């Protein structure tokens, strides 16, 4: 059994990027954790109704995946680049030391959203083997509406080297994404059912299966126990 940590800058990133993979880990008997890095609040300009509905969405999604534990940080969405890096690293480090995951999933640093970039950098700082010896694999995911909109000229783009077959879970991925009622819309909106299925089909066709999720595996340690 592995302990697996999925780090999401915002609720919905884990589902857009890793839903089928999360469900596979659960099916395989792994211990799965969800770390949500940001939140919304009335003080940040959101309505009370939206704040309440977001909390209900998180509860429904967590129950659907059957996460062993959900870890929440209270930073407001879109503001992570204003938080001292040492503060973020300290909080993430405490979580990693407590649950001791073997596998970590995190967003691609080239994503257009600054929160995604900050999360990559801070989590990457918490994967040094001499400080976090439990970590064996670090996998970087792609996020619809974030990864494909990156336009940095010095970035070579998301180049997967790991594909996970989610053919048995693609329908459930779409169903879970629908729980985020304000985050999914009709095509050609990037977070549409059609686009979710299209990306999964494209990634699957690359490796000979009906549907897949793709990752950049940036660390893979094989050790004798």
Domain of 45, in residue numbers: 3-220
Cα gap 161→76, rounded to integer Å: 33
Amino acid 6: pLDDT: 98
Angle between helices 114-124 and 85-99 (to 10 degrees): 60
CA atoms lying within 13 Å on the CB side of residue 206: 17
54 domain residue, yes or no: yes
Q: For residue 132, what is the domain's CATH number? A: 3.40.50.10320
Residue 225 scores a pLDDT above 90: no
11 domain residue, yes or no: yes
Cα distances from 109 to residues 148, 151, 180, 198, in angstroms, run: 12, 12, 24, 23
119 domain residue, yes or no: yes
Instruction: Tell me the pLDDT tens digit for each residue of 186-202.
Output: 999 999 999 999 999 99
> Whose structure tokens read 């600054």?
114
127 domain residue, yes or no: yes
Instruction: Tell me the pLDDT tens digit for each residue of 147-192.
Output: 999 998 899 999 999 999 999 999 999 999 999 998 999 999 999 9
Beta bridge partners of 216: 140
Total number of domains in the chain? 1
Amino acid 224: pLDDT: 80
Structural element, H or E, at residue 43: none
Alpha-carbon torsion angle 140, 40, 44, 41, nearest 10: -160
43 domain residue, yes or no: yes
Amino acid 113: pLDDT: 97
225 domain residue, yes or no: no
Cα gap 116→144, rounded to integer Å: 12
pTM of the model: 0.96
The two three-digit tokens of residue 141, written as one number: 């995911």
Residue 65's pLDDT band, with cuts at 50, 70 and 90, is very high
129 domain residue, yes or no: yes
């Amino acid at each position: 059994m592995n302990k697996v940590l999925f780090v999401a800058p915002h609720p919905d990133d884990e589902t857009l990027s890793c839903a089928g993979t999360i469900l596979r880990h659960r099916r395989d008997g792994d211990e799965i954790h969800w770390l949500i890095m940001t939140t919304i609040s009335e003080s940040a300009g959101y309505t009370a109704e939206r704040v309440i509905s977001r909390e209900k969405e998180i509860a429904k999604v967590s129950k659907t995946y059957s996460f062993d534990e959900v870890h929440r940080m209270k930073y407001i969405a879109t503001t992570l680049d204003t938080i001292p890096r040492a503060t973020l690293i300290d909080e993430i480090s405490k979580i990693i030391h407590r649950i001791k995951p073997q596998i970590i999933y995190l967003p691609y640093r080239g994503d257009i959203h600054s929160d995604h970039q900050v999360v990559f950098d801070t989590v990457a700082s918490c994967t040094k083997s001499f400080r976090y010896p439990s970590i064996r694999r670090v996998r970087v995911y792609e996020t619809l509406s974030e990864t494909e909109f990156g336009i940095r000229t010095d970035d070579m783009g998301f180049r997967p080297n790991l594909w996970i077959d989610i053919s048995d879970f693609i329908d459930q991925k779409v169903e879970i994404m629908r729980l985020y009622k304000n985050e999914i819309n009709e095509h050609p909106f990037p977070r549409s059912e059609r686009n979710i299925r299209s990306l999964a089909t494209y990634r699957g066709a690359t490796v000979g299966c009906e549907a897949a999720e793709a990752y950049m595996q940036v660390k893979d340690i094989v050790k004798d126990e």
